[in-house]
Homo-oligomer: A and B are copies of this chain.
Amino acid sequence: MKDFHGTKVTLEEVAQAAGVSRATASRVLTSDPRVSLDARRAVERAASKLGYVPNQAGRALATGRSDAVALVVFEPTTLLFGDPFFPRLIRGLGDVLTSRDMQLILLAPQTASDADRVERYVAAGHVDGALLVSLPSAHPLPARLASRGIPVVIGGRPTEADRFNHVDVDNVSGSAHAVAHLVAGGRRTIATVTGRKDVPAGQDRLRGYQEGLKAAGLPPDDALIEAGDFTRDGGARAMRFLLVKRPQLDAVFVASDLMAVGVLEALHQAGRRVPEDVAVVGYDDDPMAIGLQPPLSSVRQPIEEMGREMARLLLDAVHSPDRPPRKVLLTTRLEVRFSSAPVVAKPTGEAV
């Protein structure tokens, strides 16, 4: 229908076509109220007829803003695309960002030089601020960005918790609750497959597990702790180790649902029934958790809410740069399903 014949049309041309000055045309397009109805209509008509789209570079140069924020994910690409955490997070971010007409730009630095590139990218003004997730402990990036005056919000618990805006899920209490639930179901030898130890969420979930045991008066046992890496295969591998080290275990708390899939497979292969022999609780409440065999109990994190909160915090920081850093802590909820059903007293009377 319309053909813009490949030429970039500028504000000047729109103004000319509408018979007004460039300044007035600009006002119309930035929704400045001080424009007469006539002028407004003329400009709008001209703009749509010419297929005008404001040039980003020009606008950014004049305003000093880019109307975009970066989501910087420190994960190998394969994990990024495997982990259901990210679509949920992005949905939450999107809720807030699109309502303010802001673009989300995804950056996934894989190497140290990539991380430098991210710093330059952000410092070059491509974006107005950065959202950082899966940040390894003590990574220099947040401080670097902050020293350049770039607003930053961290998802998860940063190393220096008070220096930066951050939104975290209460991983410790979420995990402790999961353990308490297993204890309440009659389990006594509770193992855990942890996440990566270099990620705060992994550390916190382990701590919650330990606190849960302690609260229940159960003895700690390092052989019941096996490190996973947030992958399905890693979960299966960890479970196999646990079964070798502590064959008598009767429950496992797994630090992510993806790993829990591997755990269930490993248990199945080892001939253990879930939940009769071993109860399993996962973490994340991935949609697939319901579809697993048996349906997986899981700690539900408010990830969409986390995204929304991160976006809000960042937009606030962009808007008023001198506000001191804020911290938001979100609570989890345990979704109880069949994989952690309580032990039943056996008919034969062989009590536990």
Other-chain residue from B6, B57, B77, B78 in contact with A57 (beta carbon distance below 8 A): B57
How distant is the Cα of A86 from the Cα of B54 in the complex, in angstroms?
31
Within 8 A of B (CB), among A77-94: 77-78, 80-84, 86-87, 90-91
How distant is the Cα of A7 from the Cα of B149 in the complex, in angstroms?
7
Chain B minimum-CB-distance residue to A60? B57
Which of A119-127, A198-206, A340-348 lies at the interface with chain B? A119-127
**For the complex, is A335 an interface residue (Cβ under 8 Å from B)?**
no
Q: Is the CB of A66 within 8 A of B57?
A: yes
How distant is the Cα of A81 from the Cα of B87 in the complex, in angstroms?
7
Q: Is the CB of B4 within 8 A of A148?
A: yes
**For the complex, is A137 an interface residue (Cβ under 8 Å from B)?**
no
**For the complex, is A291 an interface residue (Cβ under 8 Å from B)?**
yes
Chain B minimum-CB-distance residue to A120? B53
Q: Is the CB of A123 within 8 A of B81?
A: no
How distant is the Cα of A123 from the Cα of B126 in the complex, in angstroms?
16
Q: Is the CB of B77 within 8 A of A148?
A: no
| Shortest distance from the beta carbon of A270 to any chain B beta carbon, whole Å | 15
Oligomer copy total:
2
Q: Is the CB of B61 within 8 A of A57?
A: yes
Contacts of A125 in B (CB 8 A): 8, 55-57
Contacts of A4 in B (CB 8 A): 147-149
Chain B minimum-CB-distance residue to A55? B125
Q: Is the CB of B147 within 8 A of A3?
A: yes
Contacts of A84 in B (CB 8 A): 78, 81-82
Q: Is the CB of B124 within 8 A of A54?
A: yes
**For the complex, is A329 an interface residue (Cβ under 8 Å from B)?**
no
Q: Is the CB of B5 within 8 A of A147?
A: yes
**For the complex, is A106 an interface residue (Cβ under 8 Å from B)?**
yes
Chain B minimum-CB-distance residue to A91? B77
How distant is the Cα of A56 from the Cα of B66 in the complex, in angstroms?
10
1/0 contact string of A135-152 vs chain B (CB within 8 Å): 000000000000111000
Contacts of A291 in B (CB 8 A): 233
1/0 contact string of A46-88 vs chain B (CB within 8 Å): 0000010111111011000010000000000110111110110
How distant is the Cα of A126 from the Cα of B60 in the complex, in angstroms?
11
A-B CB contact pairs (8 Å), 13 listed: A3-B147, A4-B148, A5-B149, A6-B149, A51-B123, A53-B120, A57-B57, A77-B90, A77-B91, A81-B82, A82-B84, A105-B105, A106-B106
| Shortest distance from the beta carbon of A212 to any chain B beta carbon, whole Å | 31
| Shortest distance from the beta carbon of A195 to any chain B beta carbon, whole Å | 18
Other-chain residue from B86, B124, B149 in contact with A81 (beta carbon distance below 8 A): B86
**For the complex, is A103 an interface residue (Cβ under 8 Å from B)?**
yes
Q: Is the CB of A148 within 8 A of B56?
A: no
How distant is the Cα of A53 from the Cα of B150 in the complex, in angstroms?
13
Q: Is the CB of A124 within 8 A of B91?
A: no
Contacts of A106 in B (CB 8 A): 105-106
Chain B minimum-CB-distance residue to A287? B78
Chain B minimum-CB-distance residue to A52? B123
